[in-house]
Amino acid sequence: MKYCSQCGSTITEQIPDGDNRIRFVCAACDTIHYQNPRIVAGCLPVWGDSILLCRRAIEPRRGYWTLPAGFMENGETMQQAAERETLEEACARVTGLRLYTLFDLPHINQVYTFFRAELLDDRFCAGDESLEVKLFSQAEIPWSELAFPTVGRTLEYFFADRVQQTFPVRNEAIAPMPMARRQV
């Protein structure tokens, strides 16, 4: 950030009075421009014994499989964001959303939330951000082609929890992927 969105003056980096972190502060009007983590909300859509996955049509990780998810918009709840993203990416409607996984990714300033949900019907198709959408049984999940660690962890938890029919809310931090495993 170089210029203040309030008055257009130059921004400096400093620790404001009463704070303990470096912030962007306007030298002219003293506006503090906070930068906070972004929230990603998504669904783990279930249809019988299968899970609905989307093959990404956008970067990052174009061509890889993911659960429908995306950034939360102002004015919506996490649940509304998860439903909207599922409709946008998979043209699918879901019901019975229950918070299931919550992942902290401090290295990229994001928080991921996934809700377990049931598909209302088996009518779905690729939205603008998906190349294709498909139901996968546990044995068919393309583990090596999953887009993000958060998706893999959510699926691992789900298949383990499904055996016990107990689905606790899971919360953990996800560390950065080693450079050798990252895909550009």
CATH number of the domain residue 6 falls in = 2.20.70.10
* 109 pLDDT above the threshold of 70: yes
Same domain, 2 and 58: no
Mean pLDDT within 4-23: 95
Same domain, 30 and 117: no
Same domain, 55 and 19: no
What is d(CA 176, CA 179) in angstroms, rounded to the nearest whole number?
9
Same domain, 31 and 71: no
What is d(CA 124, CA 89) in angstroms, rounded to the nearest whole number?
9
Same domain, 2 and 78: no
The pair of three-digit structure tokens given for residue 61, joined into one six-digit string: 């990780």
Same domain, 54 and 17: no
Buried b (16+ CB within 10 A) or exposed e, 101-128: bbbebeeeebbbbbbbbebeeeebebbe
Same domain, 27 and 46: no
Same domain, 132 and 164: yes
* Model pLDDT for residues 120-149, shown as the tens digit of each residue: 999 999 999 999 999 999 999 999 999 999
Strand runs (DSSP E) across the chain, as ranges? 11-14, 23-26, 32-33, 38-47, 50-56, 65-66, 69-71, 94-105, 110-119, 130-136, 170-173
Q: Domain for residue 131, yes or no?
A: yes
Same domain, 30 and 42: no
pLDDT of residue 177: 73
Same domain, 31 and 42: no
Confidence label for 8 from pLDDT (cuts 50, 70 and 90): very high
Counting the structural domains of the chain, the total is 2
* 183 pLDDT above the threshold of 80: no
Q: Domain for residue 183, yes or no?
A: no
The pair of three-digit structure tokens given for residue 60, joined into one six-digit string: 């990052």
Confidence label for 173 from pLDDT (cuts 50, 70 and 90): very high
Confidence label for 152 from pLDDT (cuts 50, 70 and 90): very high
Buried b (16+ CB within 10 A) or exposed e, 40-70: bbbbbbbbeebbbbbbbeeeebeebbbbbbb
Confidence label for 178 from pLDDT (cuts 50, 70 and 90): confident
pLDDT of residue 181: 53
* Model pLDDT for residues 65-84, shown as the tens digit of each residue: 999 999 999 999 999 999 99
Q: Domain for residue 20, yes or no?
A: yes
Same domain, 27 and 84: no
Which range of residues forms the domain containing residue 30?
1-35
Same domain, 47 and 122: yes
Instruction: Give Cβ neighbours of residue 135 (< 8 Å, ≥ 6 apart).
Output: 47, 50, 51, 52, 53, 122
What is the chain's mean pLDDT, rounded? 95
Q: Are 154 and 128 in contact (CB under 8 A)?
A: no
Mean pLDDT within 33-45: 96
The pair of three-digit structure tokens given for residue 59, joined into one six-digit string: 């970067």
pLDDT of residue 43: 98
What is d(CA 108, CA 125) in angstroms, rounded to the nearest whole number?
30
Query: Closest Cα partner for 103 from 36, 149, 56, 44?
Result: 149
